[in-house]
Every structure is written in C-alpha cells, then in structure tokens.
A and B are shown apart, each in its own frame.
Chain A
Amino acid sequence: MITLYDFELSGNCYKLRLLMSILNLPYEIVPVDFFPGREHKSDWFLRLNPFGQLPVLQDGDLTLSDSGAILAYLASKYDGSGLWFPNDPAIIAEVLRWHAVADDITATSSAARLALGYDYPFDIEKSQKGAHRIFRIMDEHLWFGEKQGRDWLCTPAHPTTADIACFPYVMLSEEGGISRQDYPALRRWTDRVRRIPGFTVMSGIFPAGKALEQA
C-alpha cells in the first residue's frame, strides 16, 4: 500500500495526488500539519525526511521524498502505458529539465504565496519577478508548441510528469499576487491539464468549465 504524507494546501503534495488519481492508484493519506503546526520540522517527520519538506511517500519498505523524484518513481513503476515517464533517454532528459523548472516555480510562485498567505518571511517582489520570468518563457515555449501541434511541455503527443510537476504552482500563482493574464498560451495549457482524464482538484484549483469540453 502506498502512503502519502500530505498537506492539503501544498501544491507539491497535490502533484502526487494528481498523478495517482490519473493512474487510478489507491493510496492512504497521513495528514501533516504544515501550517500552522510546522509538523514537517518535527522529530518524527525529520526521521522520514531530514530535509523537513513535504511530500514524503512510502511504498512498502521504500521511503521517498521530493515531488519530482516521486512522480518519476510512480510513473515508472505503475504507469503500464509508459506514457507519463517514457523510457527514452532524450525524453527523460526533457522531462527532468521541466521537473527542474517546476522546482524554480516552487521557489518563486509558491514562495510569494507562502509570504502573502502564510506569513513566511520571503522577498515577495523578488519571488513575483522570478515567477513572471519563468511564466514568460513557458508561455513562449507553449505558444510555439501550439503552432507546431505540440500541446504539452515535452515532445511526445501526450502529457508527461513534466506537465504535472509544473501545473500546481502555475495555477496557484494568483495567491502569490502573480497574474497569468499576460500568458495566454500558459492559460490554455492549464485548461488542457485540467481536462486530462482522472484529473482531480485541490483547494484553490477549480475544474475546467464543463461547457468548454471538447466533443
């Protein structure tokens, strides 16, 4: 059985809930009071992950941390279709490149959200600027992709864990005072992610409008 150590309002935890929902994988949740309890810095949690960060996932005897690493693990192990983390050297490199971008989105967009909503002492203006810089590059990448018939962040004709990794803190950016108004291709991509079969929401992220569903 898979166990996810989870905080509902964490975008990084949500990445795993989202992929497991898409893969239709059963799992148990152990809630961690990240806020206001700071339980991710408690002794029992630090024994699971000395870095004191969510999420942590246990699968049998394995204890894993880091959302990007866990996405790669879950997809490699449980996605029979092989689509979400394709076993192809060039595509693996491409996906991991976007996992790294996802970490940069966490360091900027999520940091601004934590500063404004959860009283973290981060530099709000610097975080917002950093997020805008990344969103601008993503918007161009996705805009050119659309022109070439590519709907997702990576080359394959289907979504990969790269899309899952980047999605949550793009969607939650407005809580960090970062508008997505100037990034139309980025917004269209978030709509496509929200129409992936098995998609699930978290608090702060709403489903795509039904009326727009493609026949």
Chain B
Amino acid sequence: MADKVETKPMPNAPDPVTRNLWYVVAATDELPPGQVETTMLLDTNLAMTRGADGEPVVWLRGDEEKGDEIDAETILDRLPVKNAYGYTWTCLGTPDADLFPIPEFAEPDRKNMSCGSIGIHVSAPRAVENFLDMGHFPYVHTDILGAEPHTEVKEYDVEVSEERDEVLATRCRFIQPRAAKSATSAMEVEYVYRVPHPFCSVLYKSCPEDESRQDVIGIFLQPMTEESCRAHLLQSMIDSYSTIKDMRRFQQTIFGQDKPILENQYPKKLPLDPRAETPIRADKSAIAYRRWLSQKGITYGVIPQAS
C-alpha cells in the first residue's frame, strides 16, 4: 500500500477561507449511534458517530473502520461540530460562530428531510453552479422542471449582499410542467437563489400548494477532494399530502438526472478566469458566483484567475 500512496500527487492544501468553513459531513439521523462512519473532507479522512445523547461527534480518522463499535465518550480529541438543518457540520480549521440562517426550517408546518448524501465526481463549486442554472431544466429535467418550447431563461437580477456576504439571484422565472411532488399542473415558477457559503446554496421556489409561501431546497456540498464531493440535499416543503418518501424520491429523480451531466464537465475544477468559458445572459448568477469566489481568495476546487 505504502508505495501506492506515494505515486499519488500531493493534494493542494486548502486555502484558509476554505479551511475555516463549516461543512456538512452527514445527515445526523443517518449516523448510527455507537458505530463508526467514515468520510473525507478536504483530502482529510474523518470518522464520526453519535453518542448516547444522539449528538454527533466527529474526529480525525485513525485506524477506525466503517461499522466499528465505538463509545463516543472515549473520543476526546474532537473537531468542532454543529447540528443544524438536520445535518452534522464540522470544520478543520477555526470556524465562525454562526452558520448562515435558513429561518424557514423552523416553521412548524414544514416537512424537512434529507434526500440522501450522494457522491459526485466533480468539484463542489461546479455542483453549486449547476444548482444555480435554469437553462438546463428543459433538456435535463424534461417534463419535470422544464419542457420545450419553454426554454427561455428570462431576465433576472443578481446581487452580492454585502451585509450577508452572499450571492442573491431574484426574479428568476421558469415554466415548469411539474415544479414539485405537490404540483398537479404546469405553472410559472418564481425562484430565489442564495449562495450564502462558497459551497452551499439554498433556493426558494413558488409552492404549488400555497401561493403565499415558498418551498426551500438546499444543497450543501462536502468537498472530499478538489475534484470530488458529496452533495447533501435538504428539502423543507409545504406539502400536506405527500409522504417524506415520495418527496425524497422526487428530489432524487432530479438529482439523478444532474449527476451524469455534472460528472461530464471538464475541467472538473471551476475556472474563475472570466475568459475561460463563454457565458450567456442566463449565466449571470454563475458569473457573480465565480467573481465572489475569486474575491474571497478561494483556490480549492477552482482554477484561480491568473494574477
């Protein structure tokens, strides 16, 4: 084994901004209490479990194997942990005290659920960018999130909120044959996209069941290496009829369609040089996102702009 490891290129150390961020590593309910689960974050092997109190514990993995029995009490050298939005978040550096807010999650009549943590062979920022893109709806999510001939991405607004340090795209509209599990007919759906974290995005879309409210879908990317990540999908829905299982299935169907498209993107890292790829008007939010990453000094999972 040893000589094999040496032939692999040394991973780039993550830049300080990336290193100090909070990342989802598991849906908390899916962590088996008293058993080791293993994963990777920023080229670093992690082990995790839950204690008798149900609280997640994460640490740098030694010789633990997935499925080993473990008493969380015996783990003294722990990484910082937050249990938020149904997920276990951790950090390899020095994290901010707070995570970005998703206030809707706490509304009592919402159905909140993880839709699975799915590995994808692409950089985390490429996955964020795909999440922001409406142009692919009719072609990739045919007859669900879009259908020909309604392929136009209408003019929308993008800003970077100084106060909240996040990219915000508003007034995004799209005609969708089946906007959600709860949809019974085609509708023009309005979206708001937030990118409140370099590797996380949250979207708000018109709710088929209640015109005055919005369904919330979050994608939290766990960068495993610069060119691979796990996507943790959160749904926070207003839907009094569908079961959690049905809503999960709907979201997994969508994500399963995105996966091969994402994995065929080349290069797998996101190029930040504005001349590297040719954007169209519909890519306005992607342009703002790339610029925002550049200004933050993020170099992990991206091809930085030549200085």
Chain A positions within 8 Å of B, measured between CB atoms, are: 7-9, 31, 33, 35-37, 39, 116-119, 121, 174-175, 177, 202-204, 206
Q: Which B residues lie within 8 Å of A117 (CB)?
A: 118-120, 259
Within B168-210, which residues are at the interface with A (CB < 8 Å)?
A: none
26 contacts between A and B (CB under 8 A): A8-B253, A9-B252, A31-B246, A33-B248, A33-B249, A35-B116, A35-B252, A36-B27, A36-B116, A37-B245, A37-B248, A116-B119, A117-B120, A118-B116, A118-B118, A119-B39, A119-B119, A174-B260, A175-B259, A175-B263, A203-B253, A203-B254, A203-B255, A203-B257, A203-B259, A204-B256
Count chain B residues whose beta carbon lies closer than 8 angstroms to a beta carbon of A: 27
Chain B residue with Cβ nearest A203: B256
The answer to whether B248 and A175 have CB atoms under 8 Å apart is no
* Other A-B pairs, 10, CB within 8 Å; known A203-B256, A204-B260: A9-B256, A33-B248, A36-B27, A36-B30, A39-B245, A116-B119, A117-B259, A121-B67, A175-B263, A202-B256
B114 located at the interface, meaning its Cβ lies under 8 Å from any Cβ of chain A in the complex: yes
Chain A residue with Cβ nearest B27: A36
Interface centre among B120, B255, B256 (most CB of A within 10 A): B256
Main secondary structure of the interface of A (DSSP, over half): loop
Chain B positions within 8 Å of A, measured between CB atoms, are: 27, 30, 39, 66-67, 114, 116-121, 230, 245-246, 248-249, 252-257, 259-260, 263-264
Instruction: Give min CB distance, B256 to chain A, whole Å.
Output: 3
Chain A residue with Cβ nearest B116: A36
Once the chains are docked, how many angstroms separate the CA of A203 from the CA of B142? 11
Q: Which B residues lie within 8 Å of A116 (CB)?
A: 119, 121
The answer to whether A8 and B252 have CB atoms under 8 Å apart is yes
Once the chains are docked, how many angstroms separate the CA of A202 from the CA of B142? 12
The answer to whether B259 and A31 have CB atoms under 8 Å apart is no
Chain A residue with Cβ nearest B256: A203
The answer to whether B116 and A204 have CB atoms under 8 Å apart is no
Instruction: Give min CB distance, A178 to chain B, whole Å.
Output: 12
Residue from B114, B249, B259 within 8 A of A8 (CB atoms): B249
The answer to whether A31 and B256 have CB atoms under 8 Å apart is no
Interface centre among B114, B121, B252, B257 (most CB of A within 10 A): B252
Once the chains are docked, how many angstroms separate the CA of A117 from the CA of B30? 16
The answer to whether B245 and A31 have CB atoms under 8 Å apart is yes
The answer to whether A36 and B117 have CB atoms under 8 Å apart is yes
Once the chains are docked, how many angstroms separate the CA of A173 from the CA of B79? 36
Once the chains are docked, how many angstroms separate the CA of A36 from the CA of B117? 8
The answer to whether B256 and A8 have CB atoms under 8 Å apart is yes
Q: Which B residues lie within 8 Å of A35 (CB)?
A: 116, 252
Once the chains are docked, how many angstroms separate the CA of A130 from the CA of B172? 46
Once the chains are docked, how many angstroms separate the CA of A175 from the CA of B260? 7
Residue from B114, B119, B254 within 8 A of A118 (CB atoms): B119
The answer to whether A203 and B252 have CB atoms under 8 Å apart is yes
Instruction: Give min CB distance, A51 to chain B, whole Å.
Output: 21
Once the chains are docked, how many angstroms separate the CA of A37 from the CA of B27? 11
